[in-house]
């Protein structure tokens, strides 16, 4: 078992630093598929180290925003800046190498590979883009691999999945698979994590475990997150700020208290049930 103090060294101890400013500026972004405006002139900013949540009914555009951020979709309008640098037009692997990692609404792991192997892939994705890492790869030594392995073992310890580490992912319970996917994203040592419905389909106990890990990532590792989630209880409990989307448009933004008292939000949600 690795002590918590060591873990902070591996992750740069970012949780202890007081940081200010925006890590991400998403400005006036629009994305249409034919006649459907999946994202319609949306603006939001994510601050260093904060837990920012995006909520909204099915089809509101939440996953589309993640795809715009990670470079999978190309918005027709707007700007996406990472610490002031324009990301639009950059390749997804280059964007990932800047420090943005994600988990998916439907788990995307190599299910016949073990937990350790999936996490090691996360390390390689982090390093495998651009000439700097090409140079690092030339003459790659056993030591690099051992260092990667040490980070992976640390993450396994952090997420409390030691007992599963040598199992193929396909054999793991669903809640543990979701945790492994989070681990794969953490293995990229991100500064911003995009979590697309991390507790979807989980029972209460699994949800509480995941909430605890998300809070540890926020406070212990100091990693900023965008949390997309339908579980309102979870979002209201742990988010610093929340943006609410409806039909591709932002209808509200604020603290959990502000958002839950906002008439437009109440209408969007109650409107669904009527």
Ligand X SMILES: Nc1ncnc2c1ncn2[C@@H]1O[C@H](COP(=O)(O)OP(=O)(O)OP(=O)(O)O)[C@@H](O)[C@H]1O
Chain positions contacting Mg ion, by CB under 5 A: 62-63, 105
* Rg for the chain, CA atoms, rounded: 19
Query: Pick from 40, 44, 55, 63: which binds ligand X (CB under 6 A)?
Result: 63
Tokens in use for 242? 């929340």
Binding residues for ligand X, total number by CB under 6 A: 12
Tokens in use for 57? 């009914």
The length of the chain in residues reads 274
Tokens in use for 92? 């997804």
Do 222 and 44 form a contact (C-beta atoms < 8 A)? no
Residue 64 binding result from ligand X, Mg ion, none, given CB thresholds of 5 to 8 Å by partner type: ligand X
Tokens in use for 171? 């054999």
State the nearest-atom distance from the C-beta of 235 to ligand X, in Å: 13
Q: Which stretch binds ligand X (CB under 6 A): 14-22, 54-62, 177-185, 210-218?
A: 54-62
State the nearest-atom distance from the C-beta of 119 to ligand X, in Å: 26
Query: Pick from 24, 29, 38, 156: which binds ligand X (CB under 6 A)?
Result: 38
State the nearest-atom distance from the C-beta of 62 to Mg ion, in Å: 5
Instruction: Determine how β-strand 36-47 pairs with β-strand 22-33.
Output: antiparallel
Residue 49 binding result from Mg ion, ligand X, none, given CB thresholds of 5 to 8 Å by partner type: none
The residue whose Cβ lies closest to Mg ion is 63
Q: Which is nearer to Mg ion, 103 or 114 (CB)?
A: 103
SS3 content of the chain, % helix, strand, coil (to 5): 45, 25, 30
- Taking the mean position of all CA atoms in its chain, how far away is CA 204? 21
| Site for ligand X, rule CB under 6 A | 33, 36, 38, 56, 58-64, 105
């Amino acid at each position: 078992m690795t002590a918590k103090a060591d873990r902070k060294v591996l992750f740069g101890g970012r949780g202890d630093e007081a940081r200010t400013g925006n890590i991400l500026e998403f400005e006036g972004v629009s994305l249409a598929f034919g006649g459907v405006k999946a994202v319609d002139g949306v603006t939001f900013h994510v601050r260093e180290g904060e837990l920012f949540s995006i909520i909204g009914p099915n089809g509101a555009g939440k996953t589309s925003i993640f795809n715009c951020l990670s470079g999978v979709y190309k918005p027709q309008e707007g700007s996406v800046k990472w610490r002031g640098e324009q990301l639009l037009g950059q390749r997804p692997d280059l964007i990932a190498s800047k420090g943005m990692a994600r988990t998916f609404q439907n788990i995307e792991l190599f299910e016949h590979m073990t937990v350790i192997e999936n996490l090691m892939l996360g390390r390689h994705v982090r390093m495998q883009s651009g000439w700097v890492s090409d140079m690092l790869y030339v003459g790659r030594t056993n030591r690099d691999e051992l260092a990667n392995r040490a980070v992976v073992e640390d993450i396994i310890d952090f997420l409390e999945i030691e007992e599963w580490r040598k199992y193929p992912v396909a054999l793991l319970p669903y809640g543990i698979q979701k945790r492994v996917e989070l681990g794969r994203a953490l293995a990229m040592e991100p500064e911003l994590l995009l979590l697309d419905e991390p507790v979807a389909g989980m029972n209460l106990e699994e949800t509480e475990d995941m909430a605890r890990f998300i809070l540890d990532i926020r406070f212990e590792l100091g990693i900023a997150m965008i949390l997309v989630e339908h579980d309102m209880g979870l979002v209201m409990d742990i988010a610093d700020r929340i943006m609410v989307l409806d039909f591709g448009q932002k209808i509200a933004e604020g603290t959990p208290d502000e958002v839950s008292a906002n008439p437009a939000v109440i209408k969007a949600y109650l409107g669904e049930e009527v």
